[in-house]
Structure 1
Amino acid sequence: MTDEKTPDLLRLDNQLCFALYSASNAIVRAYRPLLETLDLTYPQYLVMLVLWQQDGISVKQLGEKLFLDSGTLTPLLKRLETKGLIQRERSTQDERVRVLTLTGQGKTLKKQAANIPVQMRGQLNITESQLQLLKAHCELVQQQLHEQED
């Protein structure tokens, strides 16, 4: 039993998981109209962000960066390949490894996407230091939970 001074641990508004979940959903919804102009979904955008930073990585490396398994990545990558943005090829060193490279169209899309972070930042009414602190706290939560999985 809880007394009136003790918060109810099962109240939805007391749950960190719900705050993170609802904030994540709100962020994805805010990205949607910006990404529609690029014909990308949010998960596809994340893949493209990684490849714009590090072209020529393996599917395994991409999965590690995005915390996604190959079963989730494969259909995502196939759609990006169908759109002509990436190529999936066998590694010349190890044919079991699939390497992802940007096409010319995929590289050009980077220029079109360059303003998206600025537009998203404009939708948040928080200071740059608050934004960096929030990001650092989210990364800390992710890191600690990931370490417990290992």
Structure 2
Amino acid sequence: LVLCIAGDGSIQMNTQELATAVVEQLPVKVFVINNRFHGMVRQWQDLFYEGRYASSDLGQVPDFVKLAEAYGAAGVRIDTVDRVDEGIREALAIKGPVFVDVPTYRFENCYPMIPAGGANHEMILQDPPDLKKPKGTHPASVQADSDTILTA
């Protein structure tokens, strides 16, 4: 059994590997934390570059459940907090590869993180108290904020 937890931006760099997992019927469960951003890049841009986004907003992303099915794998969506346990159990019960789409709040940050060029002892453990999480101005951002379900 292999559990992979990845962001939607990073997983799209190698979704074709799902074909191998299907052919070999590998028990790979991929949990896609789907915030429609290159999340760590966006987080750096918020924390260190005053929210000036460059090439981090993905806008539209594929329907990961349909993408999994197109490859011949199973797809599961965990779209409410109440469905987290059930969705995990569902994914683990399937013998072959599974993509689990987990839509999240677009501006949720991920910690700990090391700032660009920083050392381990400079690790940031939480949002600074003065950080204001943006609502987004890109049309895809505004639309997506209304349908996200999972937050910290």
Q: Same fold (TM over 0.5)?
A: no
Q: Select the structure with the greater relative contact order (CA < 8 A; seq sep ≥ 6).
A: 2
Bigger proportion of residues as helix: 1
Q: What TM-score, normalized by structure 1, do the two folds share? A: 0.24
Larger radius of gyration: 1
Bigger proportion of residues as strand: 2
Q: What TM-score, normalized by structure 2, do the two folds share? A: 0.24
